[in-house]
Copies of this chain bind each other. A is one copy, B any other.
């Protein structure tokens, strides 16, 4: 790779000092007009652009925001990233995106790597393994030194810090209510293992809706999917029961789509014999047949809000610290053909 042009080279080439070049390029009138124009012309000709590492080091400011997500192939996360991106870009920030693959060790490494000077602030959705272990010291350190840090979606309850979360409980509640309003009685839920907070909250809201209407919350109607095993088989258990449910709430889009497949495989009609509602912000729901009713998560808005919070922390002066915020993004029911 041929060496990139820099200020020293320009200075040497034009017989002036580096400081003169630097000033001339910023149009400082400390530099005579003739010299200034000569330097600017030269720089333009050779397409000079200042080295961002040097700038960051000097200014103690990178104009980068780090983002750590558990999975990049999940549509929800990419929606959030889009939302973050849009706000960040408006303020000339760039994103460094890292993927923890839901592994604790990778997450720790990512955090260390990003916070050693590479970014001005960090946005994190916590890895499943970290949540399972309850091992948050890598985040605690950042909180302790007031490093700008915002969590979204998968957050740690006992950790201080700014958070942006979906109103999962109300979402679950509305899902339950919606199914009940559609005249369904035997309501099942397809959810995640218990260490995944979002699943727990959605389930809690769902149960609340059932309780309110004096519907029985049948434990046989609760499927906790372990992703390491065959998902379809686990969901299909609902259809092995003596009394098959007539309404299903799935805490994500994939589970909902699979539930719909299982239903149709049995020759049952959606929504007549079985109503299905998903919790998602994805692309699948509009493309299934029938289309899927969902609780919309508004990932893009979440990203917007998250980015705003982290930028706020970055700009914050040492002596005017705001208390930690938790922003709750509301969901809403998007009714389609599956209910």
A interface residue numbers (CB < 8 A to B):
1-2, 4, 47, 49-54, 56-57, 62, 72-73, 75, 78-79, 81-82, 85, 89, 94-99, 106, 112-113, 116-118, 141, 145-148, 254, 257-258, 260-261, 264, 283-284, 287-289, 318
Contact = CB atoms under 8 A, between A and B. Distances in A.
Given A97-B95, A99-B85, A116-B51, A289 B287 contact: no
29 contacts: A1-B147, A1-B148, A1-B318, A2-B145, A4-B116, A4-B117, A4-B145, A47-B141, A53-B56, A53-B57, A53-B117, A53-B118, A57-B57, A72-B81, A73-B75, A73-B82, A75-B75, A94-B113, A95-B96, A95-B97, A96-B96, A96-B97, A254-B283, A257-B287, A261-B287, A261-B289, A283-B284, A287-B288, A288-B288
Contacts of A72: 78, 81-82, 85
Nearest to A258: B287
Contacts of A117: 4, 51-54
A88 to B, nearest CB: 11
A289 B337 CA distance: 14
Interface centre among A54, A82, A116 (most CB of B within 10 A): A116
Contacts of A147: 1
Contact of A53 (B1, B62, B99, B284): B62
Given A73-B78, A95-B97, A50 B264 contact: no
A258 B98 CA distance: 33
User: Which of A72, A113, A261 has the largest count of B CB atoms less than 10 A from its CB?
Assistant: A72
Contacts of A254: 283, 287
